Amino acid sequence: MTFEHRPFRHEKQSLVADVRLQLISFIRSFTLLLYIAMGIAVVGVAMKFLGLTGGSFVFVFAMAVLMLLLLVQVGLSFFYIVSNVWLALLGAFCSFSLVTGLLALIFRYQNWFGWQVIFYAVVPLYILVGVLLFLYLKRFQKLHEPLRKFFYRNMVFPFVFLFLLGIVSFMFSADRFNQEENPVLQESPIPADGAAAEDTTGLWRAY
C-alpha cells in the first residue's frame, strides 16, 4: 500500500504562500502608517514655523509615533527579511539609528536643554548608517521585489526624511520654531517694552 503525499505538499506550499501574502499586506499597511506619521510631522514643523498654537504638540506626537513605529521595525526587519541576514541586520540597525535621530530632532526643534549633546552624539551613528546604506545599495543592487521595496521605502526614504528635517532645523534659529501665538498674552494690558513695564513712578505720583 502506498500513500500519496503530494496533496500535503501542495497544502504546505499554499499555507506558506498565504502567510507570505499576509505578511506583505501587513508591511504595506505598516509603511503607510509610517508615511502618514511623517506627513503629520511635516505639518507640525510648518505649524511651529508659522507660530500656530498646537504646533509643538502635533510635532512631538508625530515624532513619537514615528519612533514607536521604527522601534517595531527593528524586530520586524528580522521577522520579514528571513532570507537575507545582512539586510535584516542593516534594517534593524538603520531603524534604531533613525529612532535616536528622531529623538535628537525633537530636542532640537523644541529647544530643550541638552539638545546639543544628544544631537552631536547621534550624528556619527547617522553617518555610519548612511555609509552602510550606500555600500549595500552599491554592492547588492539585485534584490527581490518585496525586499527592494522594504529597503527603499522603510530605510532609505526615512533616512532622507530625517536628513531634510535636520537641515531645516539648522537653517533657522530654534527660537523661530517656538513662537506660538498666545491670545492671552496678545490681549494682555502689560506693555511690551520692558523698561516701561518696570517704570512705576507714574503710579506713585498718581497717588
**Cell 504562500, residue located:** 17
Residue 102 has pLDDT above 90, yes or no: yes
Q: Specify the amino acid at residue 150.
A: F
Q: What is the pLDDT of residues 57-86, one digit of tens each?
A: 999 999 999 999 999 988 888 777 766 778
Q: What is the pLDDT of residue 184?
A: 44
What does pTM read for this prediction?
A: 0.73
Buried b (16+ CB within 10 A) or exposed e, 186-203: eeeeeeeeeeeeeeeeee
Pairwise CA distance, residues 26 & 138, whole Å: 28
Residue 190 has pLDDT above 60, yes or no: no
Residue 17 has pLDDT above 90, yes or no: no
At 133, is the secondary structure helix, strand, or coil? helix
Q: What is the pLDDT of residue 103?
A: 92
